[in-house]
Structure 1
Amino acid sequence: MRNVGAAALDAVCVLVFVTIGRASHEEAASLTGIAGTAWPFLVGLAVGWLVTRAWRRPEAFVPAGVGVWASTVAVGMVLRVVSGQGTAVSFVVVASLFTALFLLGWRGVAKAVRRPARA
Protein backbone atom coordinates (compact mmCIF):
# COMPACT_ATOMS: atom_id res chain seq x y z
CA MET A 1 0.00 0.00 0.00
CA ARG A 2 2.84 2.39 0.81
CA ASN A 3 4.10 2.07 -2.78
CA VAL A 4 0.72 2.77 -4.32
CA GLY A 5 0.21 5.76 -2.05
CA ALA A 6 3.64 7.19 -2.86
CA ALA A 7 3.14 6.70 -6.60
CA ALA A 8 -0.27 8.32 -6.38
CA LEU A 9 1.16 11.24 -4.40
CA ASP A 10 3.86 11.74 -7.05
CA ALA A 11 1.20 11.69 -9.78
CA VAL A 12 -0.91 14.21 -7.85
CA CYS A 13 2.16 16.47 -7.56
CA VAL A 14 2.58 16.39 -11.34
CA LEU A 15 -1.12 17.05 -11.89
CA VAL A 16 -1.05 20.00 -9.46
CA PHE A 17 1.93 21.43 -11.36
CA VAL A 18 0.10 21.07 -14.68
CA THR A 19 -3.19 22.47 -13.37
CA ILE A 20 -1.54 25.51 -11.77
CA GLY A 21 0.54 26.10 -14.89
CA ARG A 22 -2.45 25.93 -17.19
CA ALA A 23 -4.45 28.25 -14.93
CA SER A 24 -1.61 30.78 -14.77
CA HIS A 25 -1.65 30.94 -18.57
CA GLU A 26 -5.44 31.13 -18.67
CA GLU A 27 -5.70 27.82 -20.50
CA ALA A 28 -8.78 25.66 -20.19
CA ALA A 29 -9.06 23.47 -17.11
CA SER A 30 -10.65 20.75 -19.21
CA LEU A 31 -9.77 17.13 -18.64
CA THR A 32 -8.38 16.80 -22.17
CA GLY A 33 -6.28 19.94 -21.79
CA ILE A 34 -4.81 18.79 -18.51
CA ALA A 35 -4.19 15.30 -19.88
CA GLY A 36 -2.49 16.71 -22.98
CA THR A 37 -0.12 18.74 -20.85
CA ALA A 38 0.41 16.14 -18.13
CA TRP A 39 1.08 12.97 -20.10
CA PRO A 40 4.76 13.66 -20.92
CA PHE A 41 5.52 14.32 -17.26
CA LEU A 42 3.52 11.34 -16.06
CA VAL A 43 5.45 9.10 -18.47
CA GLY A 44 8.68 10.64 -17.13
CA LEU A 45 7.47 9.95 -13.61
CA ALA A 46 6.80 6.30 -14.46
CA VAL A 47 10.24 5.96 -16.07
CA GLY A 48 11.79 7.44 -12.93
CA TRP A 49 9.97 4.93 -10.73
CA LEU A 50 11.24 2.08 -12.92
CA VAL A 51 14.84 3.28 -13.25
CA THR A 52 15.26 4.02 -9.54
CA ARG A 53 13.15 1.07 -8.38
CA ALA A 54 11.34 3.58 -6.24
CA TRP A 55 8.89 0.94 -5.02
CA ARG A 56 11.65 -0.38 -2.73
CA ARG A 57 11.83 2.82 -0.68
CA PRO A 58 9.51 5.37 -2.29
CA GLU A 59 9.96 7.90 0.51
CA ALA A 60 13.78 7.92 0.16
CA PHE A 61 15.17 11.28 -0.92
CA VAL A 62 17.99 9.52 -2.77
CA PRO A 63 17.79 7.62 -5.06
CA ALA A 64 13.99 7.54 -5.40
CA GLY A 65 13.17 11.23 -4.96
CA VAL A 66 16.01 12.72 -6.96
CA GLY A 67 15.81 10.07 -9.68
CA VAL A 68 12.05 10.36 -10.03
CA TRP A 69 12.26 14.15 -10.15
CA ALA A 70 15.10 14.22 -12.70
CA SER A 71 13.34 11.67 -14.91
CA THR A 72 10.01 13.48 -14.67
CA VAL A 73 11.58 16.68 -15.96
CA ALA A 74 14.04 15.22 -18.49
CA VAL A 75 11.76 12.63 -20.06
CA GLY A 76 8.81 15.02 -19.84
CA MET A 77 10.67 17.72 -21.75
CA VAL A 78 11.90 15.30 -24.43
CA LEU A 79 8.37 14.01 -24.94
CA ARG A 80 7.06 17.57 -25.14
CA VAL A 81 9.54 18.32 -27.92
CA VAL A 82 8.70 15.10 -29.79
CA SER A 83 4.97 15.83 -29.51
CA GLY A 84 5.32 19.44 -30.68
CA GLN A 85 4.72 21.12 -27.32
CA GLY A 86 6.80 24.03 -26.09
CA THR A 87 9.97 23.83 -24.01
CA ALA A 88 11.02 27.44 -23.53
CA VAL A 89 13.94 27.86 -21.13
CA SER A 90 11.73 29.66 -18.61
CA PHE A 91 9.27 26.73 -18.70
CA VAL A 92 12.05 24.20 -18.13
CA VAL A 93 13.28 26.23 -15.14
CA VAL A 94 9.81 26.61 -13.62
CA ALA A 95 8.95 22.96 -14.23
CA SER A 96 12.22 21.85 -12.67
CA LEU A 97 11.80 24.02 -9.58
CA PHE A 98 8.12 23.25 -9.02
CA THR A 99 8.46 19.51 -9.46
CA ALA A 100 11.57 19.48 -7.25
CA LEU A 101 9.69 21.32 -4.52
CA PHE A 102 6.77 18.90 -4.64
CA LEU A 103 8.37 15.55 -5.55
CA LEU A 104 11.28 16.05 -3.16
CA GLY A 105 9.32 18.10 -0.66
CA TRP A 106 6.88 15.41 0.41
CA ARG A 107 9.79 13.01 0.85
CA GLY A 108 11.57 15.53 3.07
CA VAL A 109 8.46 15.97 5.17
CA ALA A 110 8.04 12.18 5.45
CA LYS A 111 11.63 11.85 6.61
CA ALA A 112 11.24 14.62 9.18
CA VAL A 113 8.04 13.10 10.55
CA ARG A 114 9.58 9.65 10.87
CA ARG A 115 12.76 10.91 12.53
CA PRO A 116 12.52 10.40 16.29
CA ALA A 117 12.66 13.56 18.35
CA ARG A 118 15.92 14.08 20.24
CA ALA A 119 15.75 15.25 23.79
Structure 2
Amino acid sequence: MAIQQSTRSGLLLAAGLDIALVLLFVLIGRASHGEGLLGTLVTGLPFLGGLLVGWLVMRAWRSPQKIIWTGTGIWLFAVGVGMLLRTVSGQGTEFSFVVVTTIVLGVFLLGWRGLAVLLRRRKARTRALV
Protein backbone atom coordinates (compact mmCIF):
# COMPACT_ATOMS: atom_id res chain seq x y z
CA MET A 1 0.00 0.00 0.00
CA ALA A 2 1.48 3.36 -1.05
CA ILE A 3 1.69 6.27 1.37
CA GLN A 4 -0.42 9.20 0.19
CA GLN A 5 1.52 12.33 -0.84
CA SER A 6 0.12 14.46 2.01
CA THR A 7 0.93 11.74 4.52
CA ARG A 8 4.43 11.31 3.11
CA SER A 9 5.15 15.04 3.25
CA GLY A 10 3.82 15.22 6.82
CA LEU A 11 6.02 12.30 7.77
CA LEU A 12 9.09 13.88 6.19
CA LEU A 13 8.32 17.18 7.90
CA ALA A 14 7.98 15.49 11.31
CA ALA A 15 11.21 13.53 10.90
CA GLY A 16 12.99 16.63 9.61
CA LEU A 17 11.79 18.70 12.56
CA ASP A 18 12.96 16.07 15.05
CA ILE A 19 16.39 15.85 13.42
CA ALA A 20 16.74 19.63 13.13
CA LEU A 21 15.77 20.16 16.76
CA VAL A 22 18.20 17.53 18.03
CA LEU A 23 20.95 19.22 16.00
CA LEU A 24 19.87 22.63 17.30
CA PHE A 25 20.17 21.29 20.85
CA VAL A 26 23.70 20.09 20.07
CA LEU A 27 24.68 23.39 18.44
CA ILE A 28 23.33 25.44 21.36
CA GLY A 29 25.18 23.22 23.83
CA ARG A 30 28.45 23.39 21.95
CA ALA A 31 28.17 27.16 21.55
CA SER A 32 27.42 27.63 25.26
CA HIS A 33 30.71 25.88 26.04
CA GLY A 34 32.66 27.84 23.46
CA GLU A 35 33.14 24.79 21.24
CA GLY A 36 33.18 25.02 17.46
CA LEU A 37 31.16 23.27 14.81
CA LEU A 38 33.82 20.62 14.20
CA GLY A 39 32.59 18.22 16.87
CA THR A 40 28.89 18.75 16.23
CA LEU A 41 28.50 15.43 14.45
CA VAL A 42 30.38 13.54 17.16
CA THR A 43 28.23 15.15 19.84
CA GLY A 44 25.02 14.76 17.86
CA LEU A 45 25.35 11.17 16.61
CA PRO A 46 24.38 9.49 19.90
CA PHE A 47 21.21 11.58 20.11
CA LEU A 48 20.38 11.08 16.45
CA GLY A 49 20.86 7.35 17.06
CA GLY A 50 18.49 7.55 20.01
CA LEU A 51 16.03 9.49 17.88
CA LEU A 52 16.16 6.78 15.21
CA VAL A 53 15.58 4.05 17.81
CA GLY A 54 12.65 6.05 19.17
CA TRP A 55 11.11 6.41 15.72
CA LEU A 56 11.48 2.69 15.07
CA VAL A 57 10.27 1.42 18.44
CA MET A 58 7.35 3.85 18.58
CA ARG A 59 6.49 3.25 14.89
CA ALA A 60 6.36 7.01 14.61
CA TRP A 61 5.51 6.91 10.91
CA ARG A 62 1.97 5.91 11.93
CA SER A 63 1.25 9.16 13.82
CA PRO A 64 4.39 11.29 13.98
CA GLN A 65 2.64 14.36 15.41
CA LYS A 66 0.97 12.55 18.29
CA ILE A 67 2.31 13.80 21.64
CA ILE A 68 1.29 10.90 23.86
CA TRP A 69 2.92 7.84 23.03
CA THR A 70 4.75 8.78 19.86
CA GLY A 71 6.33 12.07 20.94
CA THR A 72 6.95 10.99 24.51
CA GLY A 73 8.54 7.73 23.40
CA ILE A 74 10.75 9.42 20.82
CA TRP A 75 11.90 11.95 23.44
CA LEU A 76 12.73 9.31 26.06
CA PHE A 77 14.56 7.09 23.58
CA ALA A 78 16.50 10.07 22.19
CA VAL A 79 17.69 10.90 25.71
CA GLY A 80 18.14 7.35 27.05
CA VAL A 81 19.78 5.75 24.04
CA GLY A 82 21.70 8.97 23.39
CA MET A 83 23.21 8.87 26.88
CA LEU A 84 23.96 5.16 26.56
CA LEU A 85 25.75 5.74 23.25
CA ARG A 86 27.66 8.68 24.75
CA THR A 87 28.80 6.44 27.61
CA VAL A 88 29.89 3.65 25.25
CA SER A 89 31.80 6.14 23.08
CA GLY A 90 33.59 7.66 26.08
CA GLN A 91 31.72 10.96 26.05
CA GLY A 92 30.55 12.62 29.26
CA THR A 93 27.22 12.01 30.94
CA GLU A 94 27.41 14.28 33.96
CA PHE A 95 24.18 14.44 35.98
CA SER A 96 23.62 18.12 35.12
CA PHE A 97 24.07 17.31 31.40
CA VAL A 98 21.49 14.52 31.62
CA VAL A 99 19.02 16.87 33.32
CA VAL A 100 19.53 19.68 30.78
CA THR A 101 19.36 17.24 27.87
CA THR A 102 16.13 15.71 29.18
CA ILE A 103 14.49 19.11 29.64
CA VAL A 104 15.63 20.71 26.39
CA LEU A 105 14.90 17.70 24.18
CA GLY A 106 11.53 17.35 25.91
CA VAL A 107 10.64 20.97 25.18
CA PHE A 108 11.88 20.65 21.59
CA LEU A 109 10.47 17.23 20.64
CA LEU A 110 7.16 17.59 22.48
CA GLY A 111 6.88 21.34 21.94
CA TRP A 112 6.56 21.29 18.16
CA ARG A 113 4.00 18.52 18.45
CA GLY A 114 2.00 20.59 20.92
CA LEU A 115 2.11 23.56 18.56
CA ALA A 116 0.94 21.32 15.72
CA VAL A 117 -2.06 20.20 17.82
CA LEU A 118 -2.96 23.81 18.59
CA LEU A 119 -2.69 24.80 14.93
CA ARG A 120 -4.88 21.86 13.83
CA ARG A 121 -7.53 22.79 16.42
CA ARG A 122 -7.45 26.43 15.38
CA LYS A 123 -7.76 25.46 11.72
CA ALA A 124 -10.71 23.16 12.52
CA ARG A 125 -12.47 25.94 14.47
CA THR A 126 -11.91 28.37 11.61
CA ARG A 127 -13.45 25.90 9.17
CA ALA A 128 -16.40 25.34 11.48
CA LEU A 129 -17.10 29.06 11.55
CA VAL A 130 -17.07 29.42 7.77
Shorter-chain-normalised TM-score: which range?
over 0.9
2:43 maps to 37
2:86 maps to 80
Deviation above 2 Å: which 4+ runs of structure 1?
116-119
Alignment equivalent of 1:3, drawn from 11, 22, 34: 11
Deviation by residue 1:2-23 (Cα, 9 ceiling, x = unmatched): 1111001000000000000000
**Counterparts of 1:57 and 1:29 in 2: how far apart (Å)?**
33
Q: How far apart are 1:62 and its partner, in Å?
A: 1.3
Alignment equivalent of 2:68, drawn from 62, 65, 69: 62
Q: Are 1:14 and 2:27 matched, yes or no?
A: no
Q: Are 1:105 and 2:73 matched, yes or no?
A: no
* TM value normalised by structure 1: 0.95
Q: How far apart are 1:28 and its partner, in Å?
A: 1.2
Q: How far apart are 1:51 and its partner, in Å?
A: 0.5
* TM value normalised by structure 2: 0.87
Q: How far apart are 1:29 and its partner, in Å?
A: 1.7
Between the aligned residues of both structures, percent identity stands at 53
1:95 maps to 101
In the alignment, structure 2 segments of 5+ residues that lack a partner are 1-8
**Counterparts of 1:3 and 1:56 in 2: how far apart (Å)?**
9
